[in-house]
Amino acid sequence: MLRRLVQQCSQMKTPLRVSVAQRSASSLVDLREGDYKSFDTQNPQYQQFNDKGPVWACNEWDPLEEVLIGRPENAVVPYARVEVKACIDPKKWHFFEKNGGKYWADVMPEHWKKLVSEVETFVKVVEGEGIKVVRADAFDHGKEFKTPFFASNGLYSAMPRDILMVVGDEIIEATLAWRQRYFEFYAFRNVVLDYWKRGAKWTMIPKPSCDSRLINENHSPDPKYGDFVTTETEPLVEAADFVRAGTDIFGQRSHVTNQAGIEWLRRHLAPRGIRVHELHFVEPRAMHIDTTFALVKPGYALTNPKRPLLEKDKFIKAGWKLVDAPIPSVPDGHPMWMASVWLAMNTLMKDPSHVFVEKNEVALHKVFEKMGVKSIPVDLLHMNTIGGGFHCWTCDIRRRGKMECYF
């Protein structure tokens, strides 16, 4: 059955694309093996998407019309808490032990000016491509707060990708596992509220307590793959741990997304015909899928050669090409405080033939070219240092296109 579908797809003008109604219940049988309960694809409820509203994005590549770009203002350095250390290379911990809780702009004023100027340039480049840019509020993350379980101040409004996920006409607010990010959704509240008033569907995933049962204070400083700092006592979902391909969404268990979170999203989206699949990559400090696995366009994904995908065969069998990203060319000694150099592959598709990508990543430009994708080069190195590439710094609000099945 699957072989027949792949054959049919390869004969079509646009390969790997069938509408939800045409989709065969067994078309993804290999990918969903053991991780999905059966559902009725003929259910008319699956068609109930409103692509005329203000929010509409079904995948990572359809032509981008409107995008939310994060703000660097009032960003605070993370405290060296156990859940932060789990995601970050131990060589960098001393920086957080010394500066946690201070404004980045005070810790590194010269670097910060360059970062702010890169963000502003990125906004102009995106607007220059005819895309509407929306900005979050300049929220003050230095304010202290207290919950029944812990006290902290906030982090930043820089990475909307971590907290917001658009699936069709629905905007989903994720949970965020780092305690310092507990109230980060308020930085995006006005933006989301505005879309909701104009007709978007709006969902907030149940807020976890982030208490000492959910976050393991005794987590090993040198974790093996699979040894996560978060437990399963409550669902945890970070939006950046998922990538969308129409009716199929791929996610990973990481230090900030747990199995319960993946299951929460799966059950939430199943009635609309969206299937959530868990993928596995061997990476002991996993936080967010978008430095590991990036969907480029139908049939093409960019993979991280240092973090092998265990389900590779299933994609290949379904007719997809997995293309390894080249080793990033981030200069030695550049302070990648909060993430790895793999932020280079954290790109943003403008449409299936154009991608926003770091200016100096020439080898990556060539890899994209071979896939038929032209690079739009933009400076990113200073924006990288607080933990994000173009994908992290943005959330696609509107992409022109349909909810389709690519598997």
Beta carbon of residue 146, minimum distance to ligand DAV (angstroms, whole number): 26
Beta carbon of residue 391, minimum distance to ligand DAV (angstroms, whole number): 9
Beta carbon of residue 386, minimum distance to ligand DAV (angstroms, whole number): 9
In angstroms, the CA 280 to CA 312 distance is 10
Residues whose CB falls within 8 Å of the CB of residue 13, separated by 6 or more in sequence, listed in order: none
Beta carbon of residue 209, minimum distance to ligand DAV (angstroms, whole number): 23
Pairing of strands 64-69, 132-135: parallel
> Token match 């959330």: residue?
395
Judged by beta carbon, residue 32 or residue 179, the one nearer ligand DAV is 179
Judged by beta carbon, residue 287 or residue 381, the one nearer ligand DAV is 287
CA distances (Å), origin 185, targets 149, 161, 192, 195, 213: 18, 12, 9, 15, 23
Judged by beta carbon, residue 99 or residue 252, the one nearer ligand DAV is 252
Judged by beta carbon, residue 274 or residue 294, the one nearer ligand DAV is 294
Closest CA to 195 of 27, 53, 7: 53
Judged by beta carbon, residue 57 or residue 336, the one nearer ligand DAV is 336
Beta carbon of residue 180, minimum distance to ligand DAV (angstroms, whole number): 14
Pairing of strands 18-19, 164-167: unpaired
- CB–CB of 76/141 below 8 Å? yes
The residue type of 19 is S
- For 306-340, the DSSP string reads TS-BTTHHHHHHTT-EEEEPPPP-PPTT---TTS-
Token couple for 130: 């005819």
Long-range contacts formed by 210-219: CB under 8 A, 24+ apart: 210/147, 210/149, 210/150, 210/177, 210/179, 210/182, 211/149, 211/150, 212/149, 214/177, 215/82, 215/83, 215/177, 215/179, 216/82, 217/82, 219/82, 219/83, 219/85, 219/86
Closest CA to 356 of 58, 116, 119, 187: 119
Beta carbon of residue 178, minimum distance to ligand DAV (angstroms, whole number): 11
Judged by beta carbon, residue 315 or residue 342, the one nearer ligand DAV is 342
Judged by beta carbon, residue 72 or residue 387, the one nearer ligand DAV is 387
- Interacting residue ranges for ligand DAV, rule: CB under 6 A: 240, 287-288, 291, 339-340, 342, 387-388, 392
Judged by beta carbon, residue 180 or residue 340, the one nearer ligand DAV is 340
Beta carbon of residue 359, minimum distance to ligand DAV (angstroms, whole number): 20
Beta carbon of residue 395, minimum distance to ligand DAV (angstroms, whole number): 13
DSSP state at residue 57: B
Beta carbon of residue 285, minimum distance to ligand DAV (angstroms, whole number): 7
Judged by beta carbon, residue 173 or residue 351, the one nearer ligand DAV is 173
SS (H, E, C) 165-180: EEEECEEEECCCCCHH
